[in-house]
Structure 1
């Protein structure tokens, strides 16, 4: 990162990148969301990067990286990247735009839907190679290919030109806000840090640092831990559920920009809370978001009206590449987080009428969603896994009281990660 470059000079570079980008696609909308604004008593503006040609902001960084590389060497014939998601799709789209050959390395475990979309965006200009079970092996293979074949590697986030490209999101926000309006709060999702670094750098000197709020999934808080430590921290283990933001280590260049923020400006969002946001925004607004795309909106939910009332808030919605085969899992996680679904292991007597007696304890809004006989734990008793859905979480307070009054032997395993992963 050129530390001598002033914020104004950086903005000028990002504005030029945006002008060039207009040959590829128009600005994504900045929408004042009536539903969320009324809910929080605020002006909630959504920057809809899920409406880009590849349904994420990643096309911006890929475009700027390849554009500038071709400006330096117009004869470059071959590019390569490693990605199982949005970066691959943006890279493929841009390779086709510039008429350059691109090779995309993806893990063998990549869902077919993502492979097909990458191939669709790149057409004849893209070759897809499936390598390894995990991203690290895939990334290493792409690096080896770049060295042996003379291809230029397009990194997903840790590069000046990528950061500059993602900063065009901020350039559009600045142009789309009502004249003279400066948001009270800008909410940004964080994975590798390309988007957050670009937007923060663009608004440096225009928006106070305290007006930024960054968000990471609970299973991959690399920025928050790095800010707390004062240096980059590589996480030993991450949860890949929020695949668009599950990064073990924040980018080096990205951290150089983001280290001016405090650790308490990074909000950690549980994966199940993100699922609740995804289902809520789908049901109320008809907006399909991927888990990383819902991060900023989950932050709004966590803040609530008491902290947002009367404020102007810009929340960047980073992507909408959601595989609907994941919807049952997302709905399940959302209900468990909302407290409207629980799992119990019951020990029931093996006698006629025992199950009927249990069913009589259920209320009018309680529904059995899972019933499975596990084993006989004794000659006269058996263990049953039961999943119960209800309309309001307080219904479980009444139901558990009924269990206790009936003398039932039970265990609530809803939040027991080890047991629930084994048998649910």
Structure 2
């Protein structure tokens, strides 16, 4: 029996070789505020401060296990996937090239370089991610290298599903959460987590949290097919994806569009500031999506329920803080 759950359990065991499970922490502040019991799955506490290291690690592990001896691995990413990829290249001693848009913040370039050490080279190409991705793809073809996609691959999804494996083991008293809140960009995390729980015959209510300016899952579920958005607001850089992954959508297609909450960018900024001031937790915009979406529930709807919100990342560039503060004030009506 080689079920999805079994493969995810094997992946989770292998991942223990590079970092311990991330904590599932009850948050008194959010629990009191919402009337529910809120637990945060702290993916901002991995070595690269996001869950992306899981999918990258699993992709490499399986490629190398299957006898793939490509000399060179490639990825295109402006952020968390690049950092996870770089960390894993160094771990396996494989050479990697990271293609990043010219507009990538210096902090992300430096961190990627730090994680990859001598194994990783960074190439800055194009103003937008799509141009950068195209350049990476063309290079991969011409150099006979191996492309490591950010979300649209079964091994990436299986790696991200280790988040669900850990949640199931960490739930107090072995009970399952009533609601699981998942941030969505390309859909790899959401696909992995929902598939794992379905395979275990556990069915919490899933709430998918997308930026209002990049609703690619919502639009695709509403129209019954994969939709590419004509334009996206890049503010939530970790989740501003114009087209949900093909493979992730295969796992998510039976959900209703109503299961997706669209998070307004300015309100998200208020949540980031609140979590920083009250809890001392640094979140990037995508990392705050699931926490912010709690604001859409009435107290009556979730009173006494157990909610797990996945905090997907904490790679926040403090150069952006003035902008985030200003947007938060605008949301609160304190600034025109």
Question: How do 1:25-424 residues align onto structure 2 when only pairs under 5 Å count?
Answer: 25-73=19-67, 75-204=69-198, 205-208=200-203, 211-342=205-336
Offset from partner CA, 1:48-104 (integer Å, 9 cap, x none) = 000000000000000000110000125332100000100000000000000000000
Distance in 2 (alpha carbons) for counterparts of 1:296 and 1:206: 24
In the alignment, is the contact (CA less than 8 A) between 2:168 and 2:174 conserved in 1? no
Unpaired runs of 5+ residues, structure 2, are none
Partner of 1:310: helix, strand, or coil? coil
Residue 307 of structure 1 and its aligned partner are, at CA, apart by 2.2
| Segment of structure 1 superposing worse, 296-305 or 230-239 | 296-305
Partner of 1:46: helix, strand, or coil? strand
Residue 207 of structure 1 and its aligned partner are, at CA, apart by 2.9
| Segment of structure 1 superposing worse, 315-324 or 105-114 | 105-114
Give the TM-score taking structure 2 as reference length. Answer: 0.98
Partner of 1:223: helix, strand, or coil? helix
Partner of 2:73: helix, strand, or coil? strand
Residue 144 of structure 1 and its aligned partner are, at CA, apart by 1.1
Partner of 1:203: helix, strand, or coil? helix
More strand by share: 1
Distance in 1 (alpha carbons) for counterparts of 2:25 and 2:201: 21
Count, aligned residues: 335
More helix by share: 2
Answer with 1 or 2: which has the greater Rg: 1
Residue 296 of structure 1 and its aligned partner are, at CA, apart by 0.2
Residue 134 of structure 1 and its aligned partner are, at CA, apart by 1.0
Residue 304 of structure 1 and its aligned partner are, at CA, apart by 4.1
CA RMSD of aligned residues (A): 1.2
